C-alpha cells in the first residue's frame, strides 16, 4: 500500500512514532540537535496549533447556530425540543463532572517528576506567566464577574480572542433561537448561509487534519527534545487509562438509566445499539454513524420515528458526552503535567465551557481536539500541552465516538418515554 493511500489515523500514528524517534535521536546531539528542532521543526507544530485555534470560533458559530436553527417549528416541537436539549445538557454536565472526578482521583499528570515538570514549565514559561496573571485578575473581580463575562458588549471584539469563547457561544445560542422565532421565509436565507458555512468549515477541518501527521511529528519531536523523560511517556499511558475509565463510567451510567428509568434490559439495549457502536468505533464520526444509529434506535429499540428522526440528528450535533469527559480529563491532565493547580472555580469553569463548547463540536473525527483548544484557553492552561495527548488521540477518539452515539440512543429512548406519557 502506497503511503499516500494510508488512512489518516495511520498517518498520524506514523508521524507520532517518527516524531518520538527523531526527538530521541536529536536529544543525543546535545545543543545542536535541540537547536535544529527548535529552528526547523518546532515552527510546523506551532503552525498546526495555530490552525486549530484559527477554526475554533467559526466552528462554534456555524455548527451551533445550524444545530439550533434545525429545530425549525418551535411551536410544534417546543416540548420535544426543550426536553431533548435539557436532557442532553444534563448528560453532558454529568459527563464533564465524571471526568473531573476521575482525573482528580487518579491524577495522571502528577506522575511526572519534578525535574521534567520544571523543564516543561521553562519551555512554556510565557504560557505559565499568562496563567498567573489571569489568576491575579480573577481575584480582583466580584463573585458574579464570570456571569457578566458571558455576555459580550461587542461581538466583533469577542471574536478576536479565543478566551472569549463563552461569549461567542452565548451569541450563537441567542442568534439560533431568534432564527427559529421569526417566520421561516425570513430566516431561510440565513439558514442556507449557515448550512453552507458549516460545510465549508468542515472542509477546512479536513484540510487542517491532512496536515496533522506533520504537525504531530513536529510537536512530539519538540516535546521529546525539550523534556526527554520516560516518565512523561508513562504519564501519557496513565492518562489514556484514566480516560478509558471515564468513558466506561458513562457507559455504566447509561446502563443504569436504561434499567431503572426506562425499565429495559441492558442486554436489549446493547444488542440493539451494538452495530451502531461498531460503526462509530471504526469511523470516529457521529455524523457518519447517524443513519445506522437511527435505524437501530427506531427498528430495534422501538423508539417512534418522529422522536428518533428529531432527537438523534440534534444529538449528533450537540450531544458529545464522550467528547465532554475527554475535555475535562485532558484539560486537568495537561494542567497537572505543567504543575498548575486548578481551583474549584477554574474546574467549575471547565464544566461550563466543556458543556457549552460540546454543543458546537462537529460530528467529525478529531473535532474534540479543536473544542479542547477552547476549553484550555478558557481555563488558562497552556495550549501547547496538546502535544502531550495528540499521540493517543485517534484510538481514544474512536472510544469517545462510541460513547457519544450510545448517549444519543439513551436520550432518544428517554424522550420517547416522556413524550408518550403526554
Positive or negative: CA dihedral 344, 346, 347, 351: positive
Q: Are 69 and 172 in contact (CB under 8 A)?
A: no
* pLDDT of res. 411: 92
Question: Residues 6 or more apart from 240 whose CB is under 8 A from it?
Answer: 392, 396
**Under-50 pLDDT residues of the chain:** 128, 131-132, 134-135, 139, 228, 362-365
Q: Are 222 and 41 in contact (CB under 8 A)?
A: yes
Domain that holds residue 317: 3-421
pLDDT, tens digit, 9 for 90 and up, residues 392-414: 676 788 788 889 999 999 999 99
Q: Which residue has the cell 457502536?
A: 277
Q: For residue 47, what is the domain's CATH number?
A: 1.10.3860
Overall domain count for the chain: 1
* pLDDT of res. 120: 55
* pLDDT of res. 77: 53
pLDDT, tens digit, 9 for 90 and up, residues 316-362: 767 788 888 888 898 888 888 877 777 777 788 887 777 766 655 54
Q: Are 401 and 248 in contact (CB under 8 A)?
A: no
Q: Are 221 and 41 in contact (CB under 8 A)?
A: yes
* pLDDT of res. 363: 46
Amino acid at each position: 500500500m502506497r503511503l499516500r493511500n494510508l488512512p489518516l489515523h495511520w498517518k498520524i500514528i506514523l508521524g507520532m512514532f517518527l516524531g518520538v524517534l527523531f526527538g530521541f535521536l536529536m536529544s543525543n546531539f546535545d545543543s545542536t540537535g535541540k537547536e535544529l528542532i527548535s529552528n526547523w521543526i518546532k515552527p510546523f507544530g506551532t503552525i498546526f496549533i495555530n490552525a486549530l485555534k484559527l477554526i475554533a470560533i467559526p466552528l462554534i458559530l456555524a455548527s451551533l447556530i445550524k444545530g439550533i436553527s434545525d429545530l425549525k417549528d418551535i411551536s410544534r416541537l417546543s416540548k420535544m425540543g426543550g426536553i431533548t436539549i435539557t436532557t442532553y445538557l444534563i448528560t453532558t454536565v454529568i459527563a464533564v463532572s465524571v471526568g473531573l472526578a476521575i482525573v482528580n482521583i487518579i491524577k495522571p499528570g502528577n506522575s511526572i517528576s519534578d525535574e521534567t515538570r520544571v523543564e516543561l514549565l521553562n519551555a512554556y514559561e510565557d504560557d505559565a506567566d499568562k496563567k498567573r496573571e489571569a489568576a491575579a485578575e480573577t481575584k480582583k473581580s466580584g463573585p458574579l464577574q464570570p456571569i457578566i463575562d458571558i455576555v459580550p458588549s461587542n461581538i466583533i471584539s469577542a471574536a478576536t480572542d479565543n478566551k472569549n469563547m463563552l461569549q461567542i457561544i452565548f451569541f450563537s445560542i441567542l442568534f439560533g433561537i431568534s432564527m427559529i422565532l421569526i417566520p421561516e421565509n425570513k430566516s431561510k436565507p440565513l439558514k442556507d448561509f449557515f448550512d453552507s458555512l458549516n460545510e465549508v468549515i468542515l472542509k477546512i477541518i479536513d484540510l487542517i487534519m491532512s496536515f496533522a501527521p506533520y504537525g504531530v511529528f513536529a510537536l512530539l519531536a519538540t516535546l521529546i527534545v525539550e523534556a526527554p523523560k520516560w516518565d512523561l511517556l508513562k504519564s501519557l499511558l496513565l492518562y489514556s487509562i484514566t480516560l478509558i475509565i471515564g468513558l466506561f463510567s458513562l457507559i455504566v451510567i447509561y446502563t443504569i438509566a436504561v434499567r431503572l428509568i426506562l425499565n429495559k434490559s441492558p442486554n436489549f439495549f446493547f444488542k440493539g445499539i451494538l452495530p451502531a457502536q461498531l460503526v462509530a468505533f471504526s469511523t470516529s464520526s457521529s455524523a457518519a454513524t447517524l443513519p445506522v444509529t437511527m435505524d437501530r434506535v427506531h427498528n430495534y429499540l422501538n423508539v417512534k420515528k418522529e422522536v428518533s428522526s428529531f432527537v438523534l440528528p440534534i444529538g449528533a450535533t450537540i450531544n458529545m458526552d464522550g467528547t465532554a469527559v475527554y475535555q475535562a480529563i485532558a484539560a486537568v491532565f495537561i494542567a497537572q503535567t505543567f504543575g498548575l493547580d486548578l481551583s474549584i472555580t477554574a474546574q467549575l469553569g471547565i464544566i461550563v465551557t466543556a458543556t457549552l463548547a460540546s454543543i458546537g463540536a462537529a460530528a467529525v473525527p478529531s473535532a474534540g481536539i479543536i473544542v479542547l483548544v477552547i476549553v484550555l484557553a478558557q481555563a488558562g492552561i497552556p495550549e501547547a500541552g496538546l502535544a502531550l495527548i495528540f499521540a493517543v488521540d485517534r484510538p481514544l477518539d474512536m472510544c469517545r465516538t462510541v460513547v457519544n452515539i450510545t448517549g444519543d440512543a439513551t436520550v432518544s429512548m428517554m424522550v420517547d418515554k416522556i413524550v408518550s406519557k403526554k
